[in-house]
């Protein structure tokens, strides 16, 4: 009989359950309104007018501050001024601190935009449907709170910002300019420049942004913001990380340089989400240029511009024919270099697990015949020879195991190397003070590496459990044991043994030591 005891430091678990059900009133500071939405001629221009092209191509003038010609004044608030938006909401909301759709329409600035035709009713209807509604129990009329009102206001702002950018990037053309463009297409021999603007790419970009807006609505919270955790759990990001296409360091770098939502230092609004996706797309730039364009690419390189960087995917799949693997790894010249082997997923698993040493791979690569005219690359025949050499090495190992042969002494350094690599790798992970110890915050790739090395050690003859056929003695287990690594999903979820560490202020899991004693 073996008694397992865990000597733990005395402590107390404190459970606190708080229920707060009250409405918190906010005191809003009223600020001087600033000009925001594009307005029509019913407003008086103030000093320093600026010409602006509205959504329908009309040229109007606005000043830094606008007031109505009539006695009534309309309050215009900048979309990034949270206090002013809350003050505007407080001024027009009902006694419950909520607003219906009609009450939103009656806000003077929105009402004027609808009256002038700058904001279409169907646009406002779409924005209203997208805004989170207040969960009324008895009342069937939909109402919004201050957070949803701010979202509605900012969505309206986004419409005009997009229109303004389009007006600046593609100015309105006169009939004469359009005629010149048509002549330019027909008269290239005369040296007339073709300035026709291509719209296919713009339409594709607009379609992509629309899809991203739909994705954003599906992962954002009630305030219309996306947190770091929600972004990491987004299917596209999660798949890229799990497939090894996106590294954790790359994800953290893009997140760090993405602008946050005003007033939310750790969350993204729609603009920030779109910016994050642009930076993410920049990681995956593929050179699709055909051979016919080689001269043009040479001109670009001679002008000082660097070549287009490519991020090629891993070649994964068990038991793929060598010809298929070669085709996936080969470059444009249909050759494979030593660095290209890093994209061979099955080979990297052998190296990571210690089944194949890097020096062995290097020697086999140099022994096979290289392609004519090169000193460090393989053609298809050379690659197949390398593949067969690697496969033959493992077949020999299988034959030795079947014959019950004793592991030669020359393999002992390899076993020691795998064990040393495993302990060094785990120690390096545990040395990161910003992460929990024992691998509780390890990445999927780190966990795969650890499990592969453990599997290799488990299969070695030096494994005591394997040597004795699973018959262990008490003396083999007694002593003090320290937890170095755990792949337990429950411990990762709880961030410790039970999650109690987070119940204490600034408390977190710091490790585990157990002393095992035998009663006999």
pLDDT digits 0-9 by tens, 86-144: 888 988 898 888 899 889 988 998 988 889 888 898 899 999 888 888 876 556 678 88
pLDDT at 151: 92
Phi, psi (rounded to 5 degrees) for 136 = -75, 140
Contact yes or no for 100/128 (Cβ under 8 A): no
Contact yes or no for 76/109 (Cβ under 8 A): yes
- CB atoms inside a 10 Å sphere around CB 216: 21
- CB atoms inside a 10 Å sphere around CB 166: 14
Nearest CA among 30, 49, 32, 33 for reference residue 41: 49
The dihedral built from the CA positions of residue 330, 335, 337 and 341, taken in this order, carries a sign that is: positive
Q: What is the dihedral of CA 384, 386, 387, 391, to 10 degrees?
A: 140
pTM above 0.75, yes or no: no
Examine the pLDDT at 364 and tell me if it is beyond 60. Answer: yes
Q: ∠ at Cα 158 (121, 122), nearest 5°?
A: 15
pLDDT tens-digit map of 228-270 = 888 888 888 888 888 778 888 888 888 888 888 877 778 888 8
Q: Which residues pair with 13 in a beta bridge?
A: none
pLDDT at 504: 62
Q: Which domains does the chain have, with CATH numbers?
A: 43-174 (no CATH), 205-282 (1.10.238), 325-402 (no CATH), 414-518 (no CATH)
- Rounded-to-integer distance, Cα 60 and Cα 78, Å: 20
Buried b (16+ CB within 10 A) or exposed e, 239-276: ebbeebebeeebbeebbeebeebeeeeebbbbebbbbb
Residues ≥6 apart with Cβ < 8 Å to 406? 461
Per the prediction, the chain carries an average pLDDT of 70
Q: Which residues pair with 5 in a beta bridge?
A: 515
pLDDT tens-digit map of 136-170 = 655 667 888 988 999 999 999 888 776 666 665 55
- Rounded-to-integer distance, Cα 76 and Cα 36, Å: 6
Nearest CA among 205, 219, 207, 202 for reference residue 270: 219
Q: Which residues pair with 50 in a beta bridge?
A: 62
pLDDT at 375: 66
What's the burial of 360, exposed, middle or buried (CB within 10 Å: 0-12/13-18/19+)?
Answer: middle
Examine the pLDDT at 411 and tell me if it is beyond 80. Answer: no
Residue with tokens 């070695």: 460
Examine the pLDDT at 14 and tell me if it is beyond 60. Answer: no
Indicate the SS3 state at residue 3: strand
Examine the pLDDT at 171 and tell me if it is beyond 80. Answer: no
pLDDT at 152: 92
pLDDT at 207: 66
- CB atoms inside a 10 Å sphere around CB 126: 12
Contact yes or no for 181/172 (Cβ under 8 A): no
Contact yes or no for 187/197 (Cβ under 8 A): no
Nearest CA among 295, 303, 383 for reference residue 338: 383
455 band by pLDDT with thresholds 50, 70 and 90? confident
- Rounded-to-integer distance, Cα 198 and Cα 515, Å: 73
Contact yes or no for 49/61 (Cβ under 8 A): yes
- Residue percentage of the chain with pLDDT more than 90: 2
Examine the pLDDT at 340 and tell me if it is beyond 60. Answer: yes
pLDDT at 376: 79
pLDDT at 51: 42
Higher-confidence position of 458 and 498: 458
Examine the pLDDT at 1 and tell me if it is beyond 50. Answer: no
pLDDT tens-digit map of 15-73 = 222 332 333 333 333 333 333 444 333 333 333 333 444 444 444 333 333 333 344 45
pLDDT at 73: 57
pLDDT at 2: 28
Residue 503 has which token pair? Answer: 């119940």
Mean of pLDDT values over 440-462: 81
Examine the pLDDT at 423 and tell me if it is beyond 60. Answer: yes
CA–CA distances in Å: residue 498 to residues 8, 16, 488, 489, 514: 14, 16, 12, 12, 16
CA 472 to chain centroid, in Å, comes to: 48
- Rounded-to-integer distance, Cα 44 and Cα 226, Å: 40
Residue with tokens 């919004």: 144
């Amino acid at each position: 009989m073996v008694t397992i005891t865990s000597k733990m430091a005395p402590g107390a678990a404190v459970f606190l359950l708080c229920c707060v059900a009250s409405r918190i009133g906010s005191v809003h500071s009223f600020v001087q309104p600033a000009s925001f939405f594009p307005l029509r001629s019913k407003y008086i221009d103030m000093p320093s007018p600026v010409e602006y092209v509205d959504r329908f191509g009309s040229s109007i003038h606005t000043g830094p501050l606008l007031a109505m010609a009539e006695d009534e004044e309309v309050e215009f608030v900048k979309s990034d001024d949270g206090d002013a938006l809350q003050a505007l909401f407080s001024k027009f909301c009902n006694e419950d601190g909520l607003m219906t759709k009609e009450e939103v329409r009656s806000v003077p600035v929105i009402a004027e935009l609808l009256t002038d035709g700058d904001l279409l009713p169907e646009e406002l209807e779409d924005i209203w449907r997208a805004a989170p509604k207040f969960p009324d129990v008895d009342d069937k009329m939909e109402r919004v709170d201050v957070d949803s009102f701010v979202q509605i206001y900012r969505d309206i702002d986004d419409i005009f910002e997009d229109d303004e950018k389009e007006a600046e990037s593609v100015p309105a053309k006169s009939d004469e300019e359009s005629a010149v463009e048509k002549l330019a297409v027909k008269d290239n021999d005369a040296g007339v420049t073709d300035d026709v603007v291509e719209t296919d790419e713009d339409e594709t970009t607009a379609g992509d942004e629309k899809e991203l807006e739909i994705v954003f609505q599906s992962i954002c919270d009630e305030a219309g913001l996306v947190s770091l955790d929600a972004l990491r759990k987004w299917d596209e990001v999660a798949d890229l990380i799990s497939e090894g296409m996106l590294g954790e360091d790359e994800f953290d770098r893009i997140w760090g340089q993405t602008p946050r939502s005003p007033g939310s230092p750790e969350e993204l609004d729609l603009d920030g989400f779109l910016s994050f996706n642009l930076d993410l797309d920049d990681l995956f730039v593929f050179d699709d240029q055909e051979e016919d364009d080689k001269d043009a690419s040479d001109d670009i390189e001679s002008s000082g511009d660097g070549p287009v960087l490519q991020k090629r995917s891993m070649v994964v799949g068990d038991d793929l024919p060598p010809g298929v693997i070669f085709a996936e790894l080969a470059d444009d010249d249909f050759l494979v270099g030593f660095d290209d082997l890093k994209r061979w997923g099955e080979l990297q698993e052998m190296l990571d697990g210690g089944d194949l040493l890097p020096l062995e791979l290097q020697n086999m690569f140099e022994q096979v015949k290289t392609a004519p005219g090169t000193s460090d690359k393989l053609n298809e025949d050379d690659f197949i020879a390398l593949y067969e050499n690697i496969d033959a090495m493992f077949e020999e190992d299988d034959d030795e195991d079947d014959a019950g042969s004793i592991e030669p002494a020359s393999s002992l350094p390899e076993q020691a190397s795998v064990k040393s690599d495993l302990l060094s790798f785990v120690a390096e992970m545990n040395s990161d003070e910003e992460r929990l110890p024992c691998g509780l915050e390890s990445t999927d790739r780190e966990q795969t590496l650890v499990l592969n090395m453990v599997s290799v050690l488990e299969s070695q003859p030096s494994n005591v459990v394997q040597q004795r056929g699973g018959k262990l003695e008490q003396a083999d287990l007694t002593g003090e044991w320290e937890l170095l690594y755990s792949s337990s999903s429950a411990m990762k979820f709880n961030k410790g043994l039970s999650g109690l560490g987070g119940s204490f202020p600034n408390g977190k899991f710091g490790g585990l030591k157990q002393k095992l004693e035998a009663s006999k």
